Structure 1
Amino acid sequence: MKALVHYRAGEHMLRMDSAPPPKPGPAQALVEVVAFSFNFGEVAFRTPDLPDGTIPGWDAAGIVVTPAADGSGPPAGTRVVTFGWSGAWAEFRAVDTDELAVVPDGVDLGAAAALPVAGVTALQAVRRLGSLLGRRVLVTGASGGVGRFAVQLASLGGAEVVASVGSAERGEGLLELGAAEVVVGPRAMAGRVDAVVDNVGGQQLADAYQRLSNGGIVSAVGMASKEPTTIDFEQARIGHDRGRIETFNISVPLGGDLTDLVRLVQRGQLETPVGLRTDWHSYDEAATMLLNREVRGKVILDVRKADL
Structure 2
Amino acid sequence: MMRALVVARDAPGSLQWTEVPRPVPAPDEVLVRADAVAVNHGELAFGVGYAPEGAVLGYDAAGVVETPAADGTGPAAGTPVLTVGSVGGWAEYRAVPVDSVGVAPDAADPGVLAAVCTAGATALRAVRKLGSVVGRRVLVTGATGGVGRFAVQLARRAGAHVIAVVPDPSVAPGPAADEVVRAPGELDAPVAGVIDLVGGGFLATSFAKLTSGGILVSVGHAAGAVADFDYLAMFADPAALGRHDRSIVTLYLPAETGIGADLTWLAAEVVAERLDPGIAWRGDWQHFHHAADLLLNRKLHGRAVLTMR
CA deviation profile, 1:258-307 (whole Å, cap 9, x unmatched): 12212222333211111111211111121111121111111111111xxx
Residue pair 1:6, 1:55 contacting (<8 A) in 2 also: yes
Q: Is residue 98 from structure 1 mapped to residue 99 from structure 2 by the alignment?
A: yes
Once residues 252 and 87 of structure 2 are traced to their aligned partners in structure 1, the CA distance between those partners, rounded to angstroms, is 17
- Matched position secondary structure for 2:149: helix
Q: 1:246 aligns with which of 249, 272, 280?
A: 249
- State the one-letter code of the partner of 1:121: T
> How far off is 1:173 after superposition?
4.9
Once residues 52 and 273 of structure 2 are traced to their aligned partners in structure 1, the CA distance between those partners, rounded to angstroms, is 42
Gaps of 5+ in 2: none
Q: 1:263 aligns with which of 256, 268, 272?
A: 268
Task: Give the corresponding residue for 1:132.
Answer: 133
Q: CA 1:207–1:50 in structure 2 vs 1: closer, same or farther (change >3 Å)?
A: closer
Q: CA 1:227–1:168 in structure 2 vs 1: closer, same or farther (change >3 Å)?
A: same
- Matched position secondary structure for 1:284: helix
Task: Give the corresponding residue for 1:215.
Answer: 213
The 5-angstrom pairing of residues 82-121 of structure 1 reads 82-121=83-122
TM-score (norm 1): 0.93
Residue pair 2:8, 2:16 contacting (<8 A) in 1 also: yes
- State the one-letter code of the partner of 1:168: P
Number of residues of Structure 1 aligned to a counterpart in Structure 2: 301
> How far off is 1:235 after superposition?
4.3
Q: CA 1:75–1:298 in structure 2 vs 1: closer, same or farther (change >3 Å)?
A: same
TM-score (norm 2): 0.93
Once residues 51 and 301 of structure 2 are traced to their aligned partners in structure 1, the CA distance between those partners, rounded to angstroms, is 29
Residue pair 2:126, 2:251 contacting (<8 A) in 1 also: yes
Which stretch shifts more, 270-279 or 134-143? 270-279
> How far off is 1:253 after superposition?
4.3
CA deviation profile, 1:188-225 (whole Å, cap 9, x unmatched): 23222111000000011111112211221111111000
Once residues 53 and 64 of structure 2 are traced to their aligned partners in structure 1, the CA distance between those partners, rounded to angstroms, is 28
Once residues 273 and 264 of structure 1 are traced to their aligned partners in structure 2, the CA distance between those partners, rounded to angstroms, is 13
CA deviation profile, 1:54-113 (whole Å, cap 9, x unmatched): 111111000111222222122221110011211110111111122101111243211111
Residue pair 1:137, 1:196 contacting (<8 A) in 2 also: yes
Residue pair 2:197, 2:219 contacting (<8 A) in 1 also: yes
Residue pair 2:208, 2:233 contacting (<8 A) in 1 also: no
Task: Give the corresponding residue for 1:149.
Answer: 150
Residue pair 1:36, 1:302 contacting (<8 A) in 2 also: yes
CA deviation profile, 1:12-42 (whole Å, cap 9, x unmatched): 3211111111112222221111011112221
Gaps of 5+ in 1: none
Percent identity over the alignment is 44
Task: Give the corresponding residue for 1:77.
Answer: 78
* Superposed structure 1 runs of 4+ greater than 6 Å apart: none
